Amino acid sequence: MKTESGIPMNNAAVAALPKHLLQFAVDQRFDDYTSVDHAVWRFIMRQNIFFLKEYAHKVYFQGLLETGISFERIPRISEMNDILGRIGWGGVAVDGFIPPAAFMEFQAYKVLVIACDMRQIHHIEYTPAPDIVHEAAGHAPIIVDREYSNYLQRFGEVGAKAMSSKKDFELYEAIRHLSILKELPNPDPKELAEATSKVEHGQKNLGKPSEMALLSRLHWWTVEYGLIGTLQAPKIYGAGLLSSIGESVSCLEPHVKKIPYSIEAAETAFDITTKQPQLFVCRDFQHLSDVLEEFASTMAFKVGGLEGINKAIDSANPSTCKYSSGLQVSGVFTEVLTDANRNPIYLRTTGPSAIAYQGKELPGHGRDYHKDGFGSPIGNWKMIEIREGETAKLEFESGIIVEGMVEKILRRDDQLQLITFSNCTACLGDRVLFDPAWGTYDMAVGGEIVSVFSGAADKDAYNQVALVPKERTIKSPSDARRRKLESLYQQVRDIRTRKTGYERLGEIWETQQADHPNDWLLSMEIFEILDELDEQKPLKERIAQFLNARKMADKEIATLIEWGFRLVTYHQQDTRAAV
């Protein structure tokens, strides 16, 4: 079953997603993948399996089998959902990078976001933009490990509450734009230089990193680029490494520094558009969870108080402050008053605000009702009896005085949470905090702010629309010449699959040589078939000469061609050993 946008809803984890996350989901459009795309996928997967069998964490290959990912073609997300559903996870297609907060929240719901673009042949080793190789062949297999999948979900829960800043989002947009440009076959040098400069400027002028910025680093050095085991002989488990046939090889070389993983990794920035000069090694997956909880213990959603409120104010985005009574106030926080001991005694939001309890908005207390903001004391008052329909004067220990007619008292789970006053005055000394002319006064009740986190408590009710990127990833242009090349790839694919029509390989190769002399992958596929058949040796020799000449002429693809030959030799030896 699918929604109108093509989102598969037959997976329980996907079906449970809230509306504000579904806006990021797109249709995979599987039929748009070309025969060249499938050939690139096949080359990457077969190379990865060859190399990673020795260097990847043992659960990776178990995961490849259990998630049913084919080595021969790009997987359908609907097929992956059938398999992921068995371990309580799901996946949705998205367009490239999505904002970190949304990414984390998807993870908290046990849903992988799968960038459905397929990297192009000129980025076969490594792509600066997320693609389906990275998501499906990198992330999905590892989550079959229960300890790791628990870590991933918990990271999502923590990350979804992380406070971010305006500069964070500006840097995210700059990185997204740069990754899109780098994925183009021939990006404009001037535009590329400007985009690179903007990212560098954003990284250098980020100021004090926000919680989200620090968490993003921990995520990068574990989920994306993590190593596990010993410093001397670590194994790969990070999806960014597992999906990069270039970096999965180079990352284990001595020039890449290996550092014991700890909370200090949050202080190490990363560049998403290039290979990493250092990597962090964890002992085991439990080690990841231990560091995550150590970091989480310092976050605003754990410590609350003045520190948390100030983080909310600095973010200038919708946030939530939770009172000790359980009441949750959501909005853009703009002010906090403190006493002589720097304890928060009054908070204020500006613009649409809402009040919730346990993540559900209270009836009648949405952003339309509190459209001009919300303000309320924090702390205890001198004990007096309060009744609806009577006047009450509350004298807070902080010196704040609230006086007016009690219209309504709200209690939840034996906790006094909200008092609604009419004809009310709230003041601190000479400062008027609320005037009767402003209307009804809803006063939150609670001795302290115990938690502060990013976003509204009830995002769907608050109608919190995350900033969906306006710039879309760019699909490779298709023209008549490109379609002819795709036809040649499809013919070779059909011959290999159907095991018939081998006599046509020579004609196909001659056409490729005449019309697409720089393409090397199709030649490698034909060479591979001929080697397996042990037939048409003159043609095989001519193709080998062509590929070797391409190696000499283009250093950027020399390693890839060498890897292709290596794989053919390996299968040749494997076949002989079996005989």
Burial 346-378 (b: 16+ CB within 10 A, else e): bbbbeebbbbbbeeebbeebbbebbeebbbbbb
The answer to whether 313 and 335 have CB atoms below 8 angstroms apart is: yes
The answer to whether 310 and 336 have CB atoms below 8 angstroms apart is: yes
Would you state the pLDDT for residue 248? 79
Nearest alpha-carbon partner for 454 in 23, 206, 164, 109: 164
Would you state the pLDDT for residue 577? 42
Would you state the pLDDT for residue 136? 82
The alpha-helical segments, DSSP class H, found in 161-260 are 166-183, 189-204, 211-219, 239-242, 247-250
Would you state the pLDDT for residue 262? 97
Q: CA–CA separation, 545 vs 553, rounded Å?
A: 12
The answer to whether 410 and 418 have CB atoms below 8 angstroms apart is: yes
Other CB atoms within 10 Å distance of the CB of residue 263? 14
The answer to whether 400 and 426 have CB atoms below 8 angstroms apart is: yes
The answer to whether 405 and 423 have CB atoms below 8 angstroms apart is: yes
Would you state the pLDDT for residue 9? 64
pLDDT in tens, the chain (579 residues): 554 445 656 799 999 999 889 888 888 889 999 999 999 999 988 888 888 888 899 899 888 888 778 889 999 988 888 888 988 999 999 887 788 888 899 999 999 998 888 888 877 876 666 788 888 888 888 998 999 999 999 999 999 999 987 777 777 777 777 777 776 667 788 888 888 788 777 777 767 888 998 999 999 999 999 999 999 999 999 988 888 877 777 888 899 999 999 999 999 988 766 778 999 999 999 999 999 999 999 999 999 999 999 999 988 889 999 999 999 999 999 999 999 999 999 999 999 999 999 999 999 999 999 999 999 999 999 989 999 999 999 999 999 999 999 999 999 888 999 999 999 999 999 999 999 999 999 999 999 999 999 999 999 898 755 555 555 554 556 678 889 999 999 999 999 999 999 999 999 999 999 999 989 999 999 999 999 998 899 999 999 999 999 999 988 899 899 999 988 887 655 544 443
DSSP string, 37-86: HHHHHHHHHHHHHHHHHHHB-THHHHHHHHTT--SSSPPPHHHHHHHHGG
Would you state the pLDDT for residue 4? 41
Would you state the pLDDT for residue 129? 67
Q: CA–CA separation, 335 vs 444, rounded Å?
A: 16
Burial classification of residue 514, based on how many CB atoms lie within 10 Å of its CB (0-12 exposed, 13-18 middle, 19 or more buried): exposed
Burial classification of residue 71, based on how many CB atoms lie within 10 Å of its CB (0-12 exposed, 13-18 middle, 19 or more buried): middle
Would you state the pLDDT for residue 455? 92
Would you state the pLDDT for residue 573? 55
Half-sphere exposure of residue 538: CA atoms within 13 angstroms, side-chain side: 1
Q: Where in the chain is the domain with CATH 1.10.800.10?
A: 12-220
CATH of the structural domain 480-578, one choice from 1.10.3470, 1.10.150, 3.40.1620, 1.20.58: 1.20.58
Would you state the pLDDT for residue 261? 98
Q: CA–CA separation, 250 vs 239, rounded Å?
A: 15
Query: Structure tokens of 10?
Result: 């037959």
Please report, as a single letter, which amino acid is at residue 34: T
The answer to whether 46 and 525 have CB atoms below 8 angstroms apart is: no
Q: CA–CA separation, 261 vs 219, rounded Å?
A: 12
Yes or no: domain 12-220 corresponds to CATH 1.10.150.120: no
Would you state the pLDDT for residue 575? 46
Q: Where in the chain is the domain with CATH 1.20.58?
A: 480-578
Would you state the pLDDT for residue 175? 76
The neighbouring-strand residues paired with 509 are none
